[in-house]
Amino acid sequence: MLIYEYPNDEAGALMEHAMQCGGGVECFARENNGGAVMLCGNGKATGYARERNVELLFSGGNCGERGGEWLFWVGLWTPVEYRSEFVAWYQCEHMPMLLECPIWDGCRFVEQQVTEGCQFYALHQLASRAALDSEERQRSRATPWFKRLAKNDWFDGAFSRVLCRRI
């Protein structure tokens, strides 16, 4: 899977690149910051976008075209020694709790190979941006496991978060 990040959301350039990628392309405009994000199964490099080649580790709920119109894209970096625990927490506790929210449609959890540590992205799809304020999300961030991981400087506050809407 490829993630392309664009500095603006110029429809013509996005559509041209989407056609080069073939089927299964999803385009989202960044909320408030300008720019766009495109997800596709395969594609061609372009100087216009930042490309991330990622591997799907797991998913849950409704993703892709079946998922909601909002993409909550979270970048999560961890040290190598925490990889197993972090992935287990996300897959076994955090994501299932989020998916209990009726408007939290689904999530794809992917990994990008980097030279130092582990780089993950959670591609959450929401039926409504109100899911971000849901009781289920609050609960998922208050568990003993979350609190134990939160003692690390690299956890939570260091994660990048981008909200986008389907184009």
Q: Name the helix (H) or strand (E) containing 86.
A: helix 83-89
How confident is the model over 63-91, as a mean pLDDT? Answer: 96
Whether 40 shows a pLDDT value over 70: the answer reads yes
- Cβ-based neighbours of 80, under 8 Å, separated by 6 or more: 117, 118
Whether 23 shows a pLDDT value over 70: the answer reads no
Reported for 14-23, long-range contacts at CB under 8 A and 24+ positions apart, including other chains, are 14/38, 14/167, 17/43, 17/44, 17/46, 17/48, 17/49, 20/44, 20/46
| Whole-number pLDDT of residue 9 | 63
Q: Residue 86 and residue 77: Cα distance in Å, rounded?
A: 10
**How do residues 43-74 score in pLDDT, each as one tens digit?**
665 667 788 999 999 999 999 999 999 999 99
| Whole-number pLDDT of residue 47 | 60
Q: How many helices (H) and strands (E) does the chain have?
A: 5, 9
- Of residues 21 and 126, the one with the higher pLDDT is 126
| Whole-number pLDDT of residue 126 | 98
The tokens describing 166, both together, are 């389907």
**How do residues 103-116 score in pLDDT, each as one tens digit?**
999 999 999 999 99
Task: Give all domains of the chain, ordered by start, each with its CATH number.
Answer: 2-166 (3.30.70.100)
Q: Residue 146 and residue 161: Cα distance in Å, rounded?
A: 18
pLDDT-derived band at 17 (thresholds 50, 70, 90) equals: confident
Whole-prediction pTM value?
Answer: 0.92
- Of residues 36 and 23, the one with the higher pLDDT is 36
Neighbouring C-beta atoms of residue 102, cutoff 10 Å: 11
Mean pLDDT of the chain: 91
- Of residues 13 and 88, the one with the higher pLDDT is 88
